[in-house]
Amino acid sequence: MTPRRHPKMLGATLVITVLALTGCSPTATSLPTTALPSLADSTTTASIEVSPVAVKSGTVVATGPLTSVDGRTTGSVSVIAASVGRFDLKIDGFTSPRTGEAVLNFSAQAFDEQRYCDNGFVIYQLGVVTLAPSMLADMSFDGTLSRGNPDFIDTVLLTSNDPAAERTGCFYPVIASAELEWAMPDLRPDIAVTDSGAAGGAGGTASSVDGEITAYTVAPGDVLAEIAKRFGISIADLFYLNPGRAPNPQDPTAYTGEVLNLDKSAR
């Protein structure tokens, strides 16, 4: 089922297997695929790629209460490390008058119902889940969108999967949402941003707070590889710092006026 609200498509295959822990068969949803730019072969990257820090399997790295606007749906959400670069999203204690199926989504924004209804809330669709007291989702980002670290996700969102469901002006009514609080360790301690100054394909403006570089505004003629080189990082680092980069997370083009994040704490 294709939602009327079109979430941003990912730049590589995103397969999410969602299981209701009631013995049902898993449901898998695949999104369109776009070839990734070669990162390993780039001659303009400024640093050698370092393997990210591994989080011990079973470690809870995020939690958040699942609530609804009408107060009739509750539960708790947690994100748990499953293996290197892989995480599970688990919903426990789910209670709701809603039954059947729902769409599981996430967003890098805090949920706001009015902004959602006005189509100003960007969501990524993960897949379809059968509503049950406990649900588990394999967050198989395949190292593309999240670069092995999903802590840029602010909100988990369950929306109605029933075309006949009661609506309040939104394309797909929100059943419940959860804002996540993260306790993720620094998985990329190798990233150190320094500014060598405007040059060539990196002539834009860097922003800083208290002497720390936080962002970069792309100038006409800029090239992502040159931007990365200017700040002493690799293109892979640049994508890691900008996991939800629009219009395509893996698009190698630098867009004039685009603001690229260079602060790990703000990814």
Structure token pair of residue 227: 């931007």
Average pLDDT over residues 164-183: 81
**120 in a domain, yes or no?**
yes
138 & 260 share domain: no
User: In the block, which residue shows the tokens 């599981």?
Assistant: 104
State the DSSP code for 142.
T
pLDDT band at 202 (very low <50, low <70, confident <90, very high): very high
User: Would 199 be classed as within a structural domain?
Assistant: no
Most confident of 63-77, 80-94, 165-179: 63-77
Domain that holds residue 242: 205-266
Length of the chain: 267
Same domain, yes or no, for 137 and 244?
A: no
Separation of alpha carbons 69 and 88, rounded Å: 26
Q: Which carries the bigger pLDDT value, residue 5 or residue 68?
A: 68
- Round the average pLDDT of the chain to a whole number and report it: 78
- The CATH number linked to 225 is 3.10.350.10
CA distances from 131 to 22, 102, 105, 126, 175 (A): 10, 7, 14, 15, 11
Model confidence at 4: pLDDT above 60: no
* Long-range pairs, 39-46, Cβ under 8 A, ≥24: 39/234, 39/235, 39/236, 42/225, 42/234, 42/235, 44/225, 44/226, 44/228, 44/229, 44/235, 45/225, 45/228, 45/229, 45/234, 45/235, 45/236, 46/228, 46/229, 46/231, 46/232, 46/233, 46/234
Question: Is residue 224 over pLDDT 80?
Answer: yes
Closest CA to 195 of 203, 185, 184, 187: 203
Q: Is pTM beyond 0.85 here?
A: no
Tell me, yes or no, whether 101 and 215 share the same domain: no
Q: What is the structure's pLDDT at 50? A: 52
Is 249 a residue whose pLDDT tops 70? no
Same domain, 31 and 95: yes
Q: What is the Cβ-side half-sphere exposure of residue 106, based on CA atoms within 13 angstroms?
A: 23
Q: Give the tokens for residue 208.
A: 């800083």
* Residue 134 placed within a domain: yes
- Tokens at 22, concatenated: 């009631």
pLDDT recorded at residue 236 = 87
Residues 210 and 257 grouped into a single domain: yes
Read off the pLDDT of residues 93-149 as tens digits, 9 standing for 90 and up. 999 999 999 999 999 889 888 888 777 788 888 889 999 999 998 886 554 555 678
Q: What does the alpha-carbon distance between residue 119 and residue 190 come to, in Å, rounded to a whole number?
A: 38
